[in-house]
Structure formats: C-alpha cells, structure tokens
Structure 1
C-alpha cells in the first residue's frame, strides 16, 4: 500500500522528470502533498493556509530543507519567537510546535515514501525535529493573558451608558450615524446578554431569533439559535440554542426594539442578517472588535480587555445568580464543565454573600445544639 495514500511522494513527484532546482522542487512537492493529506481529513482552507505559511517560514529561517532539519533548528526558531517586543504567547508557540511536529510526522512516515525519495536524491532523509525537550508542554487548561477578566457590574454599566449616550449625542447634533450607533449598542448588549462569541454574533439572522417555551411573553426573542458556534478541527460549526434568562430580560427588550423599529429603517428587503451596515451588507467581526476597542478607550477600561471578556462576564454572572454549572455550560456551548470553570471569576460580593450564608448556617446550628 506504500505510495497510495493522499499526499504520497509517488503521487506528488513525476518519475523521470529532471528539475532545474531539485531541492526546491521536492520541498514544494512535500508541502503540496501534506496539504493534500490534510484535505482528505476535511480540514478548513484557513487552517491549511496558516500551516503552510508556518512551514515556509521555518524553511526560510533555517535556510535548509526538511531532510536537513535538526532539533537544534527547532530550538533556534523557538528562541527567535520569544525575543524582543513581538514575543509570542506561549499558546501560540505551542501551536507552531504542533504544526511543525505534524509536518515532520508526515515527511518521516515510510508510507508516504519521502524518506526513500530523499535518501535516493540527496543521500539523507528527514527526521522528527520536535521532541519533549524542545517543545512547549501543555500544562495549564487556560493560558490566556492574566489581564483578561470578566467586567465588573460597574464597568458594564459604564459601557452600556456610553453606547446609549453616543446615540443621543448624534441625534442632538443632527449628524448622520444614529442608526448605526443604535445597532452597535444593541450588538454589544446582545453579546453580553446571551454570552456570544464574535463570529456567533455577526452571523445571526432574523430566523435565529426564536421563542422561549418557558416565557411566551418574550415572543420570538426569548432564545437565540446559534448556527456558527466554534467548530472542532475538521468539523462543521456546532449549533446550540441560548435561552434568555430573566436577569437579562433587558436584552430581550433591546432585540425586540431593534428588529421591529430599527432594522426596517435600513430598507434591506429580503436581507436576513440581523446586523446590517449602511450599505446593507452584514457587519464584520473586525467592525465589532474596533467598536469595542474605541468604546473601551473612551470610558477608560484596561486595554487588555476585549469583546470576549463580555462572554466571561456572562458566565461569571450566571454562576453568581445561582444557575447550575451544567446549565451555564450548555448556554455557552462548552463541551466540558472544566472549560466553563476557567471562564468563571465570581466577584467579591458573591463570595461575601456565600460566606455570610455559611457562617449563619454553621453558627446557628451550633447555637441550636448548645444547652440553654
């Protein structure tokens, strides 16, 4: 069966063809073969492009080809990623290591014949340059920046107040953009009120707004059907339904007002997108990121806080409200409760209330048990 796998050397190199630059030609065939192998695993195009870009970057760094790479090259490359002002995050470096490890697994696998081809052509063969001693180990479940955290209730209120004030200022000054400002404010509030990711937010369509069977009064705004949830490698986006909760009923009212009063002003016809630009196209993830960054700067929030921190806030506040962990996990679309726990950072007020309840329970029990 050697040579019959997608991406094998026999399929990628034409026998009997002489190349002007044989070394470069074999390397290009390796990269193309690895891409073909990954396509057979149904990996996305963006994943393939990022991985190919890294392989070429490593080749440029070493100025050598895969059959000449050594573990020392791997170590030098890692050092270059951790120096200077552009030092990469640990999780990013681990991702680079994983990609390089997978590529080396491919070119060293005898079933794909690259070791034989390299030995015959260059007198040497590729080896695995990534090992447990020169790559980053995955020791912690969460390795995001420690500055990233949920927003406090005060910070959330300041955020929403500024967005609302922005609308009023534009209207009062008679300037254009009040409709876009209204849209932006509703988007940010919806992100927090339903614990959405950025891509989940911008990909919402009107049919994704659905009733909540437990609260008919909310109409078609009682739940959101997320169709573009975070996907695993090689799989389609995961779907889930996020139920509105009574503590965030203001988000339901905001959605209703936007859909029934704001969105029709765009005169978009049959356009199904929930969030439209002035040109009647779907709002982009980049716009939402820039919107949050500008708002963060205006109200003086820490620069490390991002839109995703609103999702952390949602999880934290649901826990503080007393919702079971399994419910919260289902709401935000996590596969494991441990992932939800990483997001959770209950406030001091919640801890104080919990401690007060425990003190009252314990000492009341002791007083009742003591003889009068």
Structure 2
C-alpha cells in the first residue's frame, strides 16, 4: 500500500513507512515510534484539511493516555480497563459533551493505528514483536443517543429579566467608569456593542470575535437600517475538513442596529486615535482583534456584576436570539437560515419558549376555539330561524276577498 511497483513510495498521508525507515536503528525505539505514529496521524488529518487545533488536541489526548498507562498502544497495557480508568478521570473534570469528544478523539487515533492500510501493525510487529489490536467497538464510551448532550442549565436562552439585567447594567457602569477617568470605560462600551451584536444577530463567539467592519451590508428592501441591514458572517462553524461556513444574517431588531451604529460612529474610532484603522470590528486596547477567550472573560465579568447564574455563557445569547425570533412569529425556515443550521431540528434545540409566550398561545387557542363555537351556534340559530320563517310562509295563507264566512 505504501510502495509503488517500481519500489518508490506512494504519497499516502500518514503511512508508517514515510516515518519509520526499515533497518534504521532508533534511540529509545518505543518512544520514537509512538511519536512517529502521532506524526503520521497528523498527516492523515491534515490531508482531510482538519485544523492544527484539532490535530494538536488529538495528539495531546493520546499522550495523556500513554502517560497514564505507562505503556504504548501496541502493548497489552492499552486495554479496556485503561480506557475505563481514563474515562472515569474525565468524568470528574469535564462536561459530558467534552468527555464524549475526547473519547472519540482517542478512538480515531486507535482506528488509524489499527488500519493495515497505514502499516503500523506491520511496523510494530517487526520492531517490537507485538501489536494488541485494540478492540475499538468494545470501548465503554458515552453514547451519542440524542442531538443535544450539553448542559441543560447552561446553554439555554436568557429570560427577559436576565436580558434586562445583563444589558441594563452596562450604561450606568460605562458612565461610572468614564466619570472616574477609568481606562476600562472604552472596553465596557465596546462590550455593549459586542454582546448586542451577538444577541441581535444570533452569533457564536468565533463569528463575533472575527467580525470586520466591511462585513456589514445594505439591503434594498430595508433602507431604514442603512449600512447595517445585513451582516455577512464569514467564520461560521465548519464541518469536518471543510472551510468555515458563510451566511448572510438579515437585521431584525431596530434597537440592535441603533446600538451598533452608535458604537461605529462614537466608540470604535477611539481605539484608532493613534494608529491606522485595520477594520477589526471589536478591537482591544492592545491593538489586536479580541479573542474568543476574551469574549468568555468579558461575558463572565458582566454576568458576575449582574449576579446572574454562573452556568450562563456567551452562547446563551444565540439561544436567546432563536427563541425571540420564534416568539415574534418568524417562520421556522427563516430562523434556521439566520443562524446557519443545516436542519430545522438543530434550531429546535435552541428554542425554549417562555411561559408567558406559551400561556399567550394557549389563551389565543382557547379564545379562537370559543369564538368558533359561538360562530357555529349563531349560524345554527340563524339557520333555524330561516327554517321557521320558511315554514310559516308555507302554512299561513291569506284569505281572498270573496271568501264566505261560515258559522
């Protein structure tokens, strides 16, 4: 598989013979071969255009399990008991969704290592005289039995009271910092626009952090929104081995457009008072684009200031956006397109309608049913009255003038 008929090697990314040369002695061969398996696994993933972040995370997981086992993947130490011990350790430190991802990362590495097409079983047998053939299908892993396995109390829409608390505290705090001459006033004003954009256009953290000013668009049918009638999202969530998905998000809320406009005109220029404008939508005072980690930290700052539940995170803004659109009566397919989901079922996971909205819909349904019943009753009464009139016309005949009276 790894060589051509003429003896030259075939360019198969990740094949063992591209990393381990036959007959070449290695210092500490177990450690060297293990590292070479990770190099081959990296080539295998990069050939599918996976990011270096993904590649490095999976290598870190493999090294973590190797350190725990004290052995190597081709040795008997890598068995189901090791996998269970490692999974039990994860269960105490990470969320269920993260635990499942790490388990899947390890399974992908072991699947690559066990595939005869990449020749690692042959290399291990010839070098160490063993290859255990880890039984991947017997792993005691978290089952992915439903679409959503995140934290129910964390990734949820904010209530209307929570939204009011989160955003309502910002203007007074910005004013206080400005009056005190605190340099944090500028960052706080940027945060107001940043989280308004995240909430008002249903964005993820990465999508928000990497926005640039030229991403805003005019829309011919929405002249009242001016330059901010649409937002071109260029860094949407990518599929495996795919580039970031792009989408156009149409502006919906006038108050959000107004907040962004004020930020662009009065706040953002202050970040560039002494340097050229680089087009970054949400810059930092260190002359750089805000990071996803910083978005988390800034959200935490305002969440704690407002004494909101500790489980809430920036992604809750996206959940809130979806819920508010549904409550406002927007079509489900429109909402799905706005947030960039491939399936309406995924959008449904984001939706948690408020009790007030559900009570209103029930009240409307009951009122409509009662009105329909009354309409049917009135229609029946009118029909009966018409029948009585018709019957009276047929049975009551007027006397002619020449009719004789009888006694």
Structure 1 length normalisation: TM-score?
0.94
Aligned to 1:22: 29
- Kindly provide the CA deviation profile for residues 86-133 of structure 1, in whole angstroms up to 9, marking residues without a partner as x: 2x2222221122122211211111112211222222222141343255
Q: Is the 8 A contact 1:159 1:296 kept in 2?
A: yes
Q: What's the secondary structure of 2:246's corresponding residue?
A: strand
The 5-angstrom pairing of residues 80-91 of structure 1 reads 80-83=89-92, 86=93, 88-91=94-97
1:170 Cα offset (Å) = 1.9
Aligned to 1:259: 264
1:236 Cα offset (Å) = 1.0
1:145 Cα offset (Å) = 0.8
Aligned to 1:77: 86
User: For the residues of structure 1 that align with 2:286 and 2:102, how far apart are their CA atoms?
Assistant: 39
Q: Is the 8 A contact 2:157 2:317 kept in 1?
A: yes
Aligned to 1:176: 183
The 5-angstrom pairing of residues 1-372 of structure 1 reads 1-3=1-3, 4=10, 5-68=12-75, 69-83=78-92, 86=93, 88-132=94-138, 134-148=140-154, 149-245=156-252, 248-266=253-271, 267=273, 268-370=275-377, 371-372=380-381
Which stretch of structure 1 is more off in the superposition, 233-242 or 256-265? Answer: 256-265
- Kindly provide the CA deviation profile for residues 295-351 of structure 1, in whole angstroms up to 9, marking residues without a partner as x: 111111100011110111000010000001111111111111111100000001110
Q: What's the secondary structure of 2:137's corresponding residue?
A: coil
1:225 Cα offset (Å) = 0.8
Q: Is the 8 A contact 1:211 1:221 kept in 2?
A: yes
The number of residues matched between the two structures is 367
Gaps of 5+ in 1: none
User: For the residues of structure 2 that align with 1:129 and 1:97, how far apart are their CA atoms?
Assistant: 14
Distance of aligned partners of 1:10 and 1:280 in 2 relative to their CA distance in 1, 3 Å threshold: closer
1:2 Cα offset (Å) = 4.1
Which stretch of structure 1 is more off in the superposition, 260-269 or 27-36? Answer: 260-269
Q: Is the 8 A contact 1:108 1:126 kept in 2?
A: no
1:280 Cα offset (Å) = 2.9
User: For the residues of structure 2 that align with 1:275 and 1:203, how far apart are their CA atoms?
Assistant: 8
Q: What's the secondary structure of 1:67's corresponding residue?
A: coil
CA RMSD of aligned residues (A): 1.6
Distance of aligned partners of 1:368 and 1:99 in 2 relative to their CA distance in 1, 3 Å threshold: same
Distance of aligned partners of 1:357 and 1:132 in 2 relative to their CA distance in 1, 3 Å threshold: farther
Distance of aligned partners of 1:151 and 1:123 in 2 relative to their CA distance in 1, 3 Å threshold: same
1:357 Cα offset (Å) = 1.1
User: For the residues of structure 2 that align with 1:94 and 1:136, how far apart are their CA atoms?
Assistant: 6
Distance of aligned partners of 1:319 and 1:132 in 2 relative to their CA distance in 1, 3 Å threshold: farther
User: For the residues of structure 1 that align with 2:289 and 2:116, how far apart are their CA atoms?
Assistant: 48
1:287 Cα offset (Å) = 2.3
Q: What's the secondary structure of 2:24's corresponding residue?
A: coil
1:180 Cα offset (Å) = 2.4
1:82 Cα offset (Å) = 2.2
Q: Is the 8 A contact 2:111 2:136 kept in 1?
A: no
